[in-house]
Copies of this chain bind each other. A is one copy, B any other.
Amino acid sequence: MAGQERRLQIVRVAVSLFSQKGFQGTTTKEIALAAGVSEAMVFRHFATKQELYSAILDHKACASGRFDPAETAADPMERKDDRAVFESLALGALNHHEHDPQFQRLLLYSALEKHELAQMFFDQIVRHVYDFLGNYIRERQQDGAFIEIDPAIVVRCFIGMVMHHSLNNNLWDPDRRLLNISNENAAKHFTEILLKGITVEQ
């Protein structure tokens, strides 16, 4: 197998293992075994375990098919279709987390273990969402459509609903015993409550 191929395969195997057991809980031997190569092969591609870990976080956070809020909500935002803006964002995030649960686990592990890339991810991606969605809310406040409130609070409420729902489904309640609804329904109801909560009554 060619070098780049093997490297990518090791990364994929490592993503799976690190997301299941964290950095400390995963051994380089396991990774090698799961990739079907010897341990020495892993260390040919990545000088240290840390370097491999950084590579997979980078791979997941940047390279991989990430969900882009700006692209998703751009069109509804132009039309000032509040419902579509929030609902499409919620649905996009919920779907993304559902068919890539590794991502959320990796993110949490790296944040708990205080890996620098976790902070980098937060600073770049999350801050971007706050700016992006916050600006839209501010615009709609100026239109007189939304009540006067710090837009960051609204963003936090909304992201809170969505992320907490994903976290519940992925981490604590995969059988959906507490709440069993489709992502479409969740996105719809979260949006309804939030919008009703911040819209100026006529």
List the interface of chain A (C-beta within 8 A of B). Answer: 21-22, 24-25, 105, 108-109, 111-113, 118-119, 122, 126-127, 130, 149-150, 152-154, 156-157, 159-165, 168, 171-173, 177-179, 181, 186, 189-190, 192-198, 201
Q: What distance in Å separates the Cβ of A174 from its nearest Cβ neighbour in chain B? A: 11
CA distance A143 to B196 in the complex (A): 20
Contact A178 B126 (CB under 8 A): yes
Q: What distance in Å separates the Cβ of A195 from its nearest Cβ neighbour in chain B? A: 8
**CB-nearest residue of chain B to A195:** B197
Contact A112 B105 (CB under 8 A): yes
Chosen A-B contacts, 29 in total, with CB atoms closer than 8 Å, are A21-B24, A22-B112, A22-B113, A25-B113, A105-B112, A108-B108, A112-B112, A112-B171, A118-B172, A119-B172, A122-B173, A126-B172, A127-B177, A153-B179, A153-B186, A156-B179, A157-B161, A157-B193, A159-B164, A160-B160, A160-B161, A161-B161, A161-B164, A164-B164, A193-B197, A193-B198, A196-B196, A197-B197, A201-B201
CA distance A171 to B113 in the complex (A): 10
CA distance A22 to B23 in the complex (A): 11
CA distance A38 to B186 in the complex (A): 53
Q: What distance in Å separates the Cβ of A20 from its nearest Cβ neighbour in chain B? A: 9
Contact A157 B190 (CB under 8 A): yes
Q: What distance in Å separates the Cβ of A87 from its nearest Cβ neighbour in chain B? A: 14
What is the interface of chain A mostly: helix, strand, loop, or mixed? helix
Query: What B residues does A189 contact at CB under 8 A?
Result: 149-150, 153, 157
Query: What B residues does A24 contact at CB under 8 A?
Result: 21-22, 24-25
Closest 6 CB pairs of A and B: A160-B164, A197-B197, A193-B197, A24-B24, A160-B161, A196-B197
Q: What distance in Å separates the Cβ of A13 from its nearest Cβ neighbour in chain B? A: 19
Specify which of B162, B197, B198 is in contact with A160 (CB 8 Å cutoff): B162
